[in-house]
Amino acid sequence: MGPSRILVVEDNPLNRRLAVDVLRVVGYEVAEAEGAPQARVWLASSLPDLIVLDVSLPGTDGITLLGQLRADLRTRAIPIVATTALAMKTDRERILRAGFDAYLAKPFSPRVLRQVVGDLLQGRANPTGAPHG
Ligand code: MN
């Protein structure tokens, strides 16, 4: 078994680069997509162990893409982490209710991203990236 594979979907090039680097440096195999169409192309031939998905994407947004992935038997069980600049508590509740496994408000620290991803890959829920011993 090789390293876990993660797909990062984020339209902002700097945010995408940061997330990709933070995950790559700890050994994950990371693919990237700048939007929903590119993500769907990649997913047609590959299956990641986890997806980090920006909620605010031009065109098809992250919540719509999430719904499509949850409706597809092939992708429905993949853990999906929402990243968003929306900061209100009501937004967080709406996003988790939509079916994301975790929620990270930008800007988030590398530690929190790695915590959420590591926990989900071990089948452990940690919707907000809280640290634990
Ligand atoms: Mn965005």
pLDDT in tens, 101-126: 999 998 899 999 999 999 999 998 87
DSSP-based three-state secondary structure for 80: strand
For residue 52, report the distance from its CA to the centre of ligand 1, in Å.
12
Looking at the structure of the chain, the number of domains it has is 1
> What pLDDT was estimated at residue 87?
67
For residue 9, report the distance from its CA to the centre of ligand 1, in Å.
9
Distances (CA, A) of 104 to 2, 15, 98: 26, 13, 14
Q: How confident is the model at residue 86 (pLDDT cuts 50, 70, 90)?
A: low
Classify residue 82 by burial, with Cβ atoms within 10 Å: 0-12, 13-18, 19+. Answer: buried
In a domain, 38, yes or no: yes
In a domain, 126, yes or no: no
For residue 71, report the distance from its CA to the centre of ligand 1, in Å.
23
For residue 133, report the distance from its CA to the centre of ligand 1, in Å.
32
In a domain, 129, yes or no: no
In this prediction the pTM is 0.94
In a domain, 87, yes or no: yes
Q: How confident is the model at residue 37 (pLDDT cuts 50, 70, 90)?
A: very high
**CATH code for position 44:** 3.40.50.2300
Peptide bond into 107 cis (omega under 30): yes
For residue 28, report the distance from its CA to the centre of ligand 1, in Å.
22
